[in-house]
């Protein structure tokens, strides 16, 4: 699913606003950000690179993604943000976010789970990167805080990546609750009792209108599932045979290379990004199967050597295949 993920052009304004607050000129970064209109599709790799370049401007900063996300405003998230504002209560707002998240990321990622004492909204690992994760979760919690008169803290926040003690303290100070790292999912938990907290700007009439608008926007989105499934099934068959290139895949799909590249561009992706994202998703599936060795997984993904697969997997996820397998088995 991560291969289809992107962000909206409106979301990039949150980084421009951070540069303003930091009084950073950063002309190269600003020029790239200014190229995106609010309705544009921004490839995930492009967003991750922009965040990495911005973070490099403050090399001594701790978890700068938290500072970037803390500047969130409704216009950064478009109709989704205004729907949350018009929601009846916190539980309704969480439901709205889950229902219309695809308008923001291009895919449905969030899962809401009812635990014994808490309600949890969680996301499986993606290749958005550490800073991207920080920005997203910091913005979500900050946005809810902005709407409530006396905002209660989450009961726990979890991240997939690992950090050192000093950075971990920075997270706990920001979220005002325990924060766990090295988790299987990124997640935010709230006590059940919080779900009934009324949203101060709730407007039932506006909510109905925004719901209709959001539904229309969802219907206007291209359905990527058929194309995604076709490409993935093809790569599952072709990758073990060795070298896979865009020409071979296009021919197997009975279309020209130019047509395939155009369809990828419509999704905000290049061929290499599609190949890497497909391999990463398949790698997670294969590594979750204990019957397959890491070496066999590498062969199934078209790598001639296990070491090349290990390097690629670490580049995609920040983990080695073995550490990922051990984490999944916990």
pLDDT over 70 for what percent of the chain? 94
Mean pLDDT of 88-106: 85
Q: How far apart are CA 63 and CA 46, in angstroms?
A: 20
My answer on whether 270 and 216 are in the same domain is no
Residue 123 dihedral angles phi and psi, to the nearest 5°: -135, 130
Nearest to 67 by CA among 155, 194, 167: 167
My answer on whether 188 and 246 are in the same domain is no
My answer on whether 307 and 257 are in the same domain is yes
Mean pLDDT of 173-185: 95
317, pLDDT greater than 70: yes
My answer on whether 157 and 294 are in the same domain is no
The set of residues, in sequence order, having a beta carbon less than 8 Å from that of 91 and lying 6+ positions away, is: 119, 194, 195, 196
My answer on whether 130 and 151 are in the same domain is yes
159, pLDDT greater than 70: yes
3-state secondary structure of 141: helix
- Listing DSSP states for 164-210 in one string gives -HHHHHHHHHHHTS-EE-S-SSEEEEEEGGGGGPBPTT--HHHHHHH
Among 186, 220, 254, the domain-final residue is 220
Among 220, 244, 265, the domain-final residue is 220
Looking at residue 254, what is its pLDDT? 80
My answer on whether 204 and 258 are in the same domain is no
My answer on whether 48 and 189 are in the same domain is yes
Looking at residue 223, what is its pLDDT? 60
What are 187-244's pLDDT values in tens digits?
Answer: 999 999 888 888 888 888 877 887 887 787 777 666 656 677 777 778 888 888 877 8
Mean pLDDT of 84-91: 86
Looking at residue 221, what is its pLDDT? 67
What are 240-294's pLDDT values in tens digits?
Answer: 887 788 898 888 888 888 888 887 877 667 888 888 888 888 888 888 888 888 8
My answer on whether 145 and 187 are in the same domain is yes
pLDDT band at 49 (very low <50, low <70, confident <90, very high): very high
Most confident of 48-62, 74-88, 272-286: 48-62
- Our CA dihedral for 114, 5, 100, 223, rounded to 10 degrees, sits at -120
Q: How far is CA 158 from CA 4, 42, 177, 220, 329, in A?
A: 24, 26, 11, 33, 18
Mean pLDDT of 17-41: 91
My answer on whether 216 and 238 are in the same domain is no
Strands (E), the chain: 6-8, 41-43, 110-114, 118-123, 156-158, 179-180, 186-191
pTM score, whole prediction? 0.67
52, pLDDT greater than 80: yes
Mean pLDDT of 291-307: 87
Q: How far apart are CA 319 and CA 204, in angstroms?
A: 46
3-state secondary structure of 123: strand
Looking at residue 208, what is its pLDDT? 82
Q: How far apart are CA 302 and CA 289, in angstroms?
A: 18
2, pLDDT greater than 60: no
My answer on whether 103 and 154 are in the same domain is yes
Among 220, 235, 257, the domain-final residue is 220
- Extract the tokens encoding 318: 């920040």
- List the CATH number of the domain containing 313: 1.10.10.60
My answer on whether 28 and 171 are in the same domain is yes
The sign of the torsion formed by the CA atoms of 101, 62, 22, 178 equals: positive
pLDDT band at 182 (very low <50, low <70, confident <90, very high): very high
Mean pLDDT of the chain: 86
pLDDT over 90 for what percent of the chain? 31
182's torsion region: left (phi>0), alpha (psi -120 to 50) or beta? Answer: left
- List the CATH number of the domain containing 163: 3.90.1520
Nearest to 130 by CA among 101, 106, 108, 162: 162
Ranking 128-142, 188-202, 253-267, 313-327 by mean pLDDT, the lowest is 253-267
- Extract the tokens encoding 273: 């990004």
Cα 178 to chain center, whole Å?
Answer: 22
Q: How far apart are CA 205 and CA 219, in angstroms?
A: 22
In total, how many domains does the chain have?
2
Looking at residue 102, what is its pLDDT? 82
pLDDT band at 19 (very low <50, low <70, confident <90, very high): very high
Domain that holds residue 86: 2-220
My answer on whether 27 and 176 are in the same domain is yes
């Amino acid at each position: 699913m991560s291969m289809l993920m992107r962000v909206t052009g409106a979301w990039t304004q949150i980084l421009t606003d951070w540069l303003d607050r930091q009084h950073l000129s950063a002309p190269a970064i600003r020029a790239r950000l200014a190229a995106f209109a609010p309705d544009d599709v921004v490839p995930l790799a492009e967003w991750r690179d922009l965040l990495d370049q911005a973070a490099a401007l403050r090399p001594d900063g701790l978890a700068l993604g938290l500072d970037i996300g803390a500047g969130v405003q409704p216009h950064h998230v478009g109709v989704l943000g205004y729907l949350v504002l018009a929601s009846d209560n916190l539980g309704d707002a969480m439901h709205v976010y889950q229902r219309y998240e695809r308008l923001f990321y291009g895919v449905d990622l969030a899962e809401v789970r009812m635990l014994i004492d808490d309600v949890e909204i969680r996301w499986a690992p993606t290749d958005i990167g550490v800073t991207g994760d920080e920005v997203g979760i910091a913005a979500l919690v900050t946005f809810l805080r902005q709407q409530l008169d006396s905002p209660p803290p989450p009961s726990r926040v979890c991240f997939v990546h690992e950090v050192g003690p000093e950075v971990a303290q920075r997270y706990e100070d920001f979220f005002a609750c325990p924060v766990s790292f090295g988790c299987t999912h990124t997640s935010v938990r709230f006590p059940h009792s919080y779900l009934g907290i009324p949203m101060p700007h709730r407007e039932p009439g506006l909510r109905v209108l925004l719901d209709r608008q959001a539904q229309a926007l969802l219907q206007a989105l291209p359905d990527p599932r058929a194309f995604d499934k076709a490409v993935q099934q093809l790569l599952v068959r072709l990758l073990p045979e060795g070298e896979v290139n865009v020409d071979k895949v296009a021919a197997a799909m009975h279309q020209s290379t130019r047509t395939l590249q155009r369809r990828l561009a419509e999704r905000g992706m290049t061929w290499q990004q599609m190949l890497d994202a497909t391999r990463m998703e398949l790698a997670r599936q294969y590594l979750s199967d204990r019957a397959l060795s890491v070496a066999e997984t590498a062969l199934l993904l078209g790598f001639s050597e296990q070491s090349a697969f290990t390097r690629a997997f670490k580049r995609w996820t920040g983990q080695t295949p073995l550490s990922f397998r051990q984490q999944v088995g916990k």
